[in-house]
Amino acid sequence: MNSPFNNRIQAGQQLAEKLQPYQNQDNTVVLALPRGGVPVAYGIAKKLHLPLDICLVRKLGIPEHPELAMGAIALGGVKILNIDVIEWRKISPQIIEEVTQKEQLELQRREQVYRGEQPFPKIYNQTVILVDDGIATGATIKAAIAIIKKQQAKHIIVAVPVAPPSICQELSHEVDQLICLKTPENLHSISFWYDDFSQSTDEEVCSLLFLSSQYYLI
């Protein structure tokens, strides 16, 4: 299969070409949505010589189809619900609460594994480039935008390799800039747009964050 993107890092390098004005900017940070967004963000951060960190968000998938988001949560009590999906699938408040509690535990686990004792980066009055490996429903990226706005970032730029045009249009009203390389009407799935879409691991996330901290100090 010959997809638009070889892998996540290469997709990030392509996005970096569109983000050249932010290269070497002291007041700019790249924030990735783990796990899949981290390699994409690494490709951006390395090419533009910007610091890389993570914005922890968890998708609330419906039990019988976990990839379909009925919402998302982020640290700090942020919760976004996809009402259309909830009504379409007739999901009860009890199911939403059960899934939320489960994902809250995973959110806390990842916070410990990826960040340890390190606090969330100070993004007050900063320009934030928010990155994921693609957008399907928009629930997770909206939760991330909410937490970044809560921290009073100066500018928010969403940068993703692929997303439906309707989602791009919706998100463009919530952020200062949206950069998306491919906007297919029929997304199928995000994996369809990559030759290599193997699952990112905790080890890969930690490794790329470490490598990023090393090159940025050079």
Domain membership flag for residue 112: no
Q: How many domains are there within the chain?
A: 1
Domain membership flag for residue 93: no
Domain membership flag for residue 70: no
Domain membership flag for residue 107: no
How many Å apart are CA 51 and CA 218, to the nearest integer? 12
Range of the domain at 131: 8-57+120-217
**For residue range 7-31, what is the model confidence (pLDDT) as tens digits?**
999 999 999 999 999 999 999 999 9
Domain membership flag for residue 68: no
How many Å apart are CA 23 and CA 158, to the nearest integer? 16
Domain membership flag for residue 199: yes
Query: What's 33's domain CATH number?
Result: 3.40.50.2020
- 70 SS3 class: strand
Structural tokens at position 165: 């045009």
Domain membership flag for residue 135: yes
How many Å apart are CA 40 and CA 33, to the nearest integer? 10
Domain membership flag for residue 110: no
* pTM score of the predicted model: 0.93
How many Å apart are CA 124 and CA 150, to the nearest integer? 9
**For residue range 76-132, what is the model confidence (pLDDT) as tens digits?**
888 999 999 999 999 999 999 999 999 999 999 999 999 888 888 889 999 999 999
